[in-house]
């Protein structure tokens, strides 16, 4: 059966503007490749819902979402209405944990027609993945505050990593590297300064690499690794990182190749026990929201990752080819301001749908 | 009295190669500006010492160093002999804490003659400081391991931040910004994901900014901040960050402006209760050690920061002008391979000393 039940959650800000274009691309691909879409539009996980109900989501959110094949997500966060840590811990960070989407997969790719801020890099030279642990580690709300309101005030927060949690994301990264020509995994660490969790991370990387003798493994401390994303982006193939380090690297990588506004992300539960979630890397962008100029490619590229995950590899490839071709053509009436054009969200979305 | 008692600790690897050039620059400046140097060369805080004694430093290290006006440090770490977290927690990370060097000041400056990996940036366009908290936060050895050796193995590590610790480094950053034309402080945060310590950091930034009404304050989450170092390095003036975030940003910033091998760093105890320490940002670089090709400018620039700290502002400026002029001249027989030349550590060091 090729009918996919998909929860569509636009969220806040430009999330609501780029989502229709993501959906347009999905419909175009469905028409051409002959599958069916059963889209369930949900208006929660938004500041609107917070305003109306004082919560980010209805009580039965998990049940509603467990029933779908995948979640197509926009962006959440509107700090004027609800503080970011509340809106995010009340939505996307919940999804990742409750649905055990322990892999966050983020491609970094230098595309033709996108101007990279790095001098002298050519399309094809940079093409790697950041595989980010997505459920534990530095993202924690365990800890507390002592001597509150006094000069001695102290806050403590725990980073918690487990063998299960580390090993499964490492395995995903090594398996991914096996399917790539370079067969190389780079581990992000900081075991020289972060004295308990990161040496443990290194141990697990060393243990895992024993099971993959044909994979070339190296590691860098996060400080010099970030520097090397700028200096030598061509060195990388599969970069595996903890939750925080993966967060940093998966914004930095796209920034280096000029795709910060268009990078996609897949929050994957590899076992398929729970639905996976697909969203652009960018946030709700209050600064440009409401103008209709947000680049919809992050959302559209995420649609491609979602279709690939659902088994529609051809349709996924067609979407990627479509936006790559439109970007490479570089018609300034069509591409959005971030790509040097004067186009609109809808205009660019339509051009891509037509190309599919 | 203008006699400065300085502990000289070369450390490991290229630390031992660049230190003589740092010392050469100090002597040259002393000759011209008429102050005296009392240099105390120490061979500990090195893998050699570890091999001979099983410790990184002698027992009375703190007493020896308390007696000096400043510490001039090379680089430590030789993983073949002693694991990095052992050598670093046994030396530089100790110094920072025991001597309460709570400010780590790291300039990011696009220099004439240094090729930046970023396209189209000109010298003068990028010139800012990273002010890094240097004693607490994410760099902690508090925590532990549970269910050791089993599938349930779990590691926990605490990040600990205090009001005292945050406020004093913020104050330093705001005071520094007051003395700069742009009068701007950018705070690195991640309060949307790191739910206890970082919202507290934001609170303290907000509180501190009330005392500095003329300073323009903004903040970015570390993921997008790292991206903006690549995309908009000209936005920044004084960037203030926690220990880990400051570590990442102060490698990334120099990488963006092409000075990763030459960036300096000042570990400052602003009250002068304990000696401050000056060291290049780079490490011991086992990969190029022993070849005599390491760039000595990180060490020499650190000498300038040290003299400035000791009250010899003119001499400090002269050193900076000297290496800037030598780099701008760009004689390929003199500058080291990282700058596109074929020069040696000693050759470049001598050229800079001559220019002073
Ligand atoms: C060597 C390491 C512990 C150190 C740090 O992370 O502080 C270094 O990277 C630095 O920036 O001085
Ligand atoms: C919004 C924020 C909590 C989130 C994260 O840090 O994971 C975002 O930056 C991301 O990368 O998906």
- The string of pLDDT tens digits covering residues B210-229 is 999 999 999 999 999 999 99
Looking up tokens 């001098």 gives A119
Residue B52: the pLDDT is 96
Q: Residues A208, A309: one domain?
A: no
> Ligand 2 centre from B184 Cα, in Å?
26
Would you state the structure tokens that stand for residue A55, as one six-digit string? 């919560």
Q: Residues A297, A246: one domain?
A: no
SS (H, E, C) B13-77: CCHHHHHHHHHHHHHHHHHHHCCEEEEEECCCCCHHHHHHHCCCCCCCHHHHHHCCCEEEEEECC
Which residues have a Cβ under 8 Å from the Cβ of B264 and sit 6 or more positions away?
B106, B107, B278, B279, B280, B281, B298, B299, B301, B302, B304, B305
Residue A203 has a CB neighbour count (10 Å cut-off) of: 15
Contact across the interface for B193 and A88, Cβ inside 8 Å = yes
Phi, psi of B259 (to 5 degrees): -115, 25
Alpha carbons A196 and A191: distance in angstroms, whole number = 8
Residue B132 has a CB neighbour count (10 Å cut-off) of: 28
A192 lines ligand 1 (CB under 6 A): yes
**What integer is the mean pLDDT of A260-289?**
95
Residue A346: the pLDDT is 97
Q: Are A199 and A223 in contact (CB under 8 A)?
A: no
Residue B122: the pLDDT is 87
The residues that bridge with A144 in the sheet, in sequence order, are A156
Mean model confidence pLDDT for chain B? 96
Q: Residues B252, B349: one domain?
A: no
What number of C-beta contacts closer than 8 Å exist between A and B?
A: 204
Question: Tell me: the pLDDT tens digits for B328-348?
Answer: 999 999 999 999 999 999 999
Question: Tell me: the pLDDT tens digits for A231-252?
Answer: 999 999 999 999 999 999 999 9
Question: Tell me: the pLDDT tens digits for B161-215?
Answer: 999 999 999 999 999 999 999 999 999 999 989 999 999 999 999 999 999 999 9
> Ligand 2 centre from A86 Cα, in Å?
13
Domain boundary (B262, B284, B319) is at B262
Which residues have a Cβ under 8 Å from the Cβ of A51 and sit 6 or more positions away?
A81
Domain boundary (A263, A295, A320) is at A263
Residue A209: the pLDDT is 98
pLDDT band at B115 (very low <50, low <70, confident <90, very high): confident
Q: Residues B42, B18: one domain?
A: yes
The residue ranges of DSSP E strands in A57-153, in sequence order, are 70-75, 103-109, 127-133, 143-146
User: Domain range holding A56?
Assistant: 1-101+269-356
Q: Residues B203, B233: one domain?
A: yes
Question: Tell me: the pLDDT tens digits for B238-264?
Answer: 999 999 999 999 999 999 998 888 999
Q: Residues A6, A110: one domain?
A: no
Alpha carbons B148 and B289: distance in angstroms, whole number = 37
Contact list in B for residue A196 (CB cut-off 8 A) is 140-145, 155-157
Q: Are A13 and A284 in contact (CB under 8 A)?
A: yes
In chain A, which residue's Cα lies nearest the Cα of B161? A155
pLDDT at A230 over 90: yes
Q: Residues B25, B141: one domain?
A: no
Alpha carbons A262 and B306: distance in angstroms, whole number = 44
Domain boundary (B262, B287, B305) is at B262
**Which A positions 244-303 lie with beta carbon below 8 A of chain B?**
244, 247-248, 250-252, 254-256, 260
Concatenate the DSSP letters of all residues of B178-215 into one string.
HTSTT-EEEEEE-TTTSTTHHHHHHHHHHHHHHT-TTS
Q: Are B72 and B6 in contact (CB under 8 A)?
A: yes
Alpha carbons A246 and B235: distance in angstroms, whole number = 24
Q: Residues A149, A254: one domain?
A: yes
- B311 to chain A, minimum CA–CA distance in Å? 31
**What integer is the mean pLDDT of B27-33?**
98
pLDDT at B90 over 90: yes
Residue B259: the pLDDT is 87
The continuous run of DSSP H or E covering B295 comes out as none
The residues that bridge with B187 in the sheet, in sequence order, are B219, B240
Which residues have a Cβ under 8 Å from the Cβ of B119 and sit 6 or more positions away?
A116, A117, A118, A119, A120
Q: Residues A315, A235: one domain?
A: no
Mean model confidence pLDDT for chain A? 96
Which residues have a Cβ under 8 Å from the Cβ of B68 and sit 6 or more positions away?
B5, B6, B7, B40, B275
Instruction: Say which DSSP state A146 is in.
Output: E
The residue ranges of DSSP E strands in chain B, in sequence order, are 3-11, 36-41, 70-75, 103-109, 127-133, 143-146, 154-162, 184-189, 216-221, 238-241, 264-268, 276-280
Give me the CATH number covering residue B141. Answer: 3.40.718.10
Q: Residues B127, B255: one domain?
A: yes
Residue A122: the pLDDT is 87
A276-280 sheet: strands from edge to edge: A36-41, A3-11, A70-75, A276-280, A264-268, A103-109, A127-133, A238-241, A184-189, A216-221
pLDDT at B265 over 90: yes
- B194 to chain A, minimum CA–CA distance in Å? 5
Number of domains in chain B: 2
Q: Residues A123, A223: one domain?
A: yes
- Selecting from A144, A155, A227 the residue whose C-beta is nearest the C-beta of B255 gives A227
Contact across the interface for A251 and B223, Cβ inside 8 Å = yes
Q: Residues A117, A5: one domain?
A: no
**What integer is the mean pLDDT of A65-93?**
94
Concatenate the DSSP letters of all residues of A234-273 into one string.
GG-SEEEE-HHHHHHHHHHHHHHTT-TTT-EEEEE-TT-S
Residue of B188, B222, B223, B224 to test ligand 2 pocket, by largest number of atoms within 8 Å of CB:
B223
- Is B151 within 8 Å of chain A by CB? yes
């Amino acid at each position: 059966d090729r009918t996919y039940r998909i929860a569509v959650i636009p969220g806040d800000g430009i999330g609501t503007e780029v989502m229709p274009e993501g959906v347009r691309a999905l419909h175009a691909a469905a028409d051409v490749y002959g599958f069916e879409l059963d889209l369930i539009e949900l208006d929660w996980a938004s500041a609107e819902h917070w305003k109306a109900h004082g919560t980010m989501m209805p009580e039965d959110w998990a049940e509603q979402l467990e029933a779908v094949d995948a979640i197509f997500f926009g962006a959440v966060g509107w700090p004027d209405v609800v503080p970011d840590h509340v809106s995010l811990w009340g939505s996307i960070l919940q999804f990742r944990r409750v649905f055990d989407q322990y892999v966050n997969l983020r491609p970094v790719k230098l595309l033709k027609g996108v101007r990279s801020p790095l001098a002298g890099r050519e399309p094809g030279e940079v093409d790697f993945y950041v595989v980010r642990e997505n459920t534990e580690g530095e993202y924690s709300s365990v800890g507390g505050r002592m001597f509150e309101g006094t000069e001695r005030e102290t806050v403590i927060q725990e980073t918690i990593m487990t063998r299960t949690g580390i090993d499964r994301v490492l395995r995903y990264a090594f398996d991914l590297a096996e399917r790539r020509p370079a067969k190389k995994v780079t581990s992000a660490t900081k075991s020289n300064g972060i004295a308990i969790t990161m040496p443990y991370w290194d141990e697990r990387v060393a243990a895992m690499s024993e099971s993959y003798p044909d994979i070339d493994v190296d590691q860098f401390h996060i400080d010099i690794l970030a520097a090397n994303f700028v200096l030598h982006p061509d060195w990388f193939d599969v970069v595996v990182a903890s939750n925080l380090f993966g967060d940093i690297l998966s914004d930095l990588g796209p920034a280096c190749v000029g795709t910060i506004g268009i990078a996609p992300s897949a929050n994957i539960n590899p076992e398929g026990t729970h639905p996976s979630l697909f969203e652009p890397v960018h946030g709700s962008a209050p600064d440009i929201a409401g103008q209709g100029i947000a680049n919809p490619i992050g959302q559209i590229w995420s649609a491609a990752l979602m279709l690939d995950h659902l088994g529609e590899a051809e349709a996924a490839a067609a979407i990627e080819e479509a936006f790559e071709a439109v970007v490479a053509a570089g018609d300034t009436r069509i591409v959005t301001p971030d790509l040097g054009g004067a186009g609109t969200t809808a205009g660019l979305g339509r051009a891509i749908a037509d190309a599919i």
